[in-house]
Amino acid sequence: MKKLTHTDNTGRANMVDVGAKPDQIREATAKGFIRLAPETVRLIRENEMKKGDVLTVAEIAGIQGGKKTSELIPLCHPLAITRMDVKALLTDDGVEITAYAKCTGKTGIEMEALTAASIALLTIYDMCKAVDKKMELTNVYLVNKTKTDL
């Protein structure tokens, strides 16, 4: 049977040792979408949701979530994030989230970008659940990731 986690010589799960890897500039972008009813889109557009400005709150929540990725995902390295941007774009049928994360370090930042996008979408869901019972979170994916030598 194939092992599903990285283990040390005791057989216990542990974080991958990245200590010998060189520091690099690492960037990642993730996207996601939440499908909303036309009335929900209207309420967001006209800033009439009872919980407040949905798009701004979702962007801030996404940034906060991205910064806490290592606390949420087991065995994920904590990173010194140097930039985190989350943008919420209201469309005719929902909200598209784009999350960008950047750090200088020894391991990637894609989990932070994916977490930021997911948390932003979940925040929209939470803020709209009283008026829209058929929301659908879709297409959370990594757009790209890069690493550049210093």
Mean pLDDT by 10 residues, the chain (150 residues): 55 81 95 98 97 98 97 93 98 98 94 98 98 97 97
Q: Has residue 84 been placed in a domain?
A: yes
The model's pTM: 0.91
Question: Which residue range forms the structural domain that includes residue 76?
Answer: 24-145
Helices (H) and strands (E) in the chain, counts: 4, 4
Could you list the active site residues?
126
Task: Report how far residue 64's alpha carbon sits from residue 67's, in angstroms, rounded to the nearest whole number.
Answer: 5
Q: Has residue 73 been placed in a domain?
A: yes
Q: Has residue 1 been placed in a domain?
A: no
Here the CATH number for the domain that contains residue 141 is 3.30.70.640
Domain count, the chain: 1
